[in-house]
Amino acid sequence: MDQAACLRLANRMASLEPSATLAMAARAGAMKAAGVDVIDLSVGEPDFPTPEHICRAGEAAIAAGKTKYTPAAGIPALREAVAADYARRSGLEVTPAQVIVSNGAKHSLHNLFTALLNDGDEVIVPTPYWVSYAELIKLAGARPVLVETTIEDDFKLQPAAFEAAVTPQTRMLLLCSPSNPTGVVYTRAELEALADIAIAADLAVVSDEIYDQLVFDGRESVSFPTLRPGLAARSIVVAGVSKTYSMTGWRIGWTISPAPLAKAMGSLQSQETSNPCSVSQHAAVAALTGPQDCVTAMRDAFQVRRDLVIDRLRQIPGVKIPEIGGAFYAFFDIRSSLRKPVGPATSVAWCEQLLEQEQVATVAGSAFGAEGYVRMSFAASEEKLAAGLDRIARFVG
C-alpha cells in the first residue's frame, strides 16, 4: 500500500542511519535462529547474568507494588545513590539534584543534546566514535564535527587537532574514555591538555564514562570534571548500570551536570517518557549500594579475555590494534586485507564476507567513522573468542 503524502517523513529523518551494531546483531540472531553456527562478536553487551542480588531487588520491588509512576528524574533513592557513588569514586562533591536518571545512557545523551544544542551549533567528536553520537547530535539540529585520530596515537584526540577544529560555532566536545569502539583509556595528562583547550574556548564537555569501572592493568579511570577547578561547571558526565553490572536490558542511565541544566533535562524528560522503569530503578539502587565483588569479577574476566584477543590478533599478519586499556572491544586494522584483487573493498564488505564465509559477526569500522577497521566485542566466553579468532585468522589468511 502506498503511503499517503501527509505521512511523508520529516526532513531530519533523511540523514538518520540505523544502529550498525544492532543491525549486525539482528542479522546474526536471524542466522542462529535458522540453525547456523554463528559466533556473535558484534554487540557491546556483557555475557554475564545480572548479579543475583540485583535481580532479587527487582523482584522485591514488584512484590512491594513499586510498579507505578515515579518522579520524572528518578526516585530519590537512586539519585542519592548515583551522587554518593560518583562522589566516592571521583572525590568531587555532587548532589542528587545534579543527577537525572533516564532510560539508558543513549536517552541521557538525547536529553542533554536537546537541552543544550541549537540549530547550527557544532560538536567536536573524535573518530572512531560510538555509532549513536553523530545521529543524536544531528537530531538535535546541531552538526557533529568529526576529528580524525590515528592508530599510531592509540586513537586519542590530539590537542593540536582539537584546537584546530574549534570554530565560532563550536559549542561542545564529546569524549568517551574508556572508549567504545577502541577500548583505549586516556591518561590524566592527556585529558588535562584537552580540558585546558575546552576552558579557553568556553566549550561544554560531555564525558561518556559508561565503562569507567572496566579498566585493566591497574589503570586509573579519570572523570573529566575532576581535572581542573571549575571544570565541573561546564561538564556533563554520562554513565549507567548497563556495562558495569551487566544490566543492558534494564535500561537505566544517568547524567551528572550542573543543577540548572539537570532541572531542564528533568523537565524535558517529564514530557517525553514520564520516568524510567520503576522496577529497574530499585534494582539499580541495589547495584550501586550492594556488594561490588561482582564488578571486580567481571572486570577480571574481561581482562583475561582482552589478553587472549590481543595475543591472537597480533599473530595475524597485517592486523594492528591500539592499546586496549578498558571496556570490552578490540578495534583492529584490516587495511592490508582490503582492495586486493580477490579481497573485499570496504570494511562493510569485509564484515559481510566474514559472516557469510566463517559465520563470525563483527561491525565495520565505517559505522564508527573509521574505514579500514573492524570492531569485535570480547564480551563472550574464552571458548567462543578462541573459536571466533580461529575463524578470523582463517578468513584473513
pTM beyond 0.85: yes
Highest mean pLDDT among 121-130, 331-340, 345-354: 121-130
What angle (nearest 5°) sits at the alpha carbon of residue 364, between those of residues 362 and 365?
Answer: 125
With a cut of 60, say whether residue 355 has pLDDT above it: yes
Helix residue spans in the chain (DSSP H)? 20-33, 52-63, 76-90, 105-116, 131-139, 159-165, 188-200, 259-272, 278-289, 293-314, 347-358, 382-396
With cut-offs at 50, 70 and 90, classify the pLDDT of residue 1. Answer: low
Percent of residues, the chain, with pLDDT higher than 90:
87
The residue among 326, 327, 260, 265 whose CA lies nearest residue 103 is 265
pLDDT, residue 29, reads 81
Pairwise CA distance, residues 73 & 92, whole Å: 21
Q: Domain limits of the chain?
A: 11-49+294-396, 52-289
Residue 147's SS3 state is strand
Query: Looking up cell 533516564, which residue turns up?
Result: 102
* Residues 6 or more apart whose Cβ sits within 8 Å of residue 264: 115
- Parallel/antiparallel/unpaired status of strands 373-377 and 363-364: antiparallel
Q: Which three cell numbers mark 287?
A: 547495584
* Tens-place pLDDT, residues 278-325: 999 999 999 999 999 999 999 999 999 999 999 999 999 999 999 999
Pairwise CA distance, residues 151 & 391, whole Å: 24
Mean pLDDT value across the chain: 95
pLDDT, residue 4, reads 79
Cβ neighbours, 10 Å, residue 316: 20
In this structure, CATH architecture of domain 52-289: 3-Layer(aba) Sandwich (3.40)
What angle (nearest 5°) sits at the alpha carbon of residue 135, between those of residues 20 and 221?
Answer: 80
Kindly provide the b/e burial profile for residues 120-154, where b requires at least 16 CB atoms within 10 angstroms of the residue's own CB: ebbbbbbbbbbbbbbebbbbbebbbbbbebebeeb
- With 0-12 / 13-18 / 19 or more C-beta atoms within 10 angstroms meaning exposed / middle / buried, residue 35 is exposed
* Tens-place pLDDT, residues 138-175: 999 999 999 999 999 999 999 999 999 999 999 999 99
Question: Where is pLDDT greater, at 368 or 26?
Answer: 368
What is the CA 379 to chain-centroid distance, rounded? 14
* Tens-place pLDDT, residues 71-116: 999 999 999 999 999 999 999 999 999 999 999 999 999 999 999 9
With a cut of 80, say whether residue 14 has pLDDT above it: no
Q: Is the distance from CB of 140 to CB of 123 less than 8 angstroms?
A: no
pLDDT, residue 36, reads 87
Pairwise CA distance, residues 243 & 326, whole Å: 12
- Specify the CATH class of 11-49+294-396 in words: alpha beta
- Parallel/antiparallel/unpaired status of strands 373-377 and 143-148: unpaired
* Tens-place pLDDT, residues 32-82: 888 889 999 998 899 999 999 999 999 999 999 999 999 999 999 999 999
* Tens-place pLDDT, residues 361-376: 999 999 999 999 999 9
Pairwise CA distance, residues 243 & 333, whole Å: 25
Pairwise CA distance, residues 284 & 256, whole Å: 16
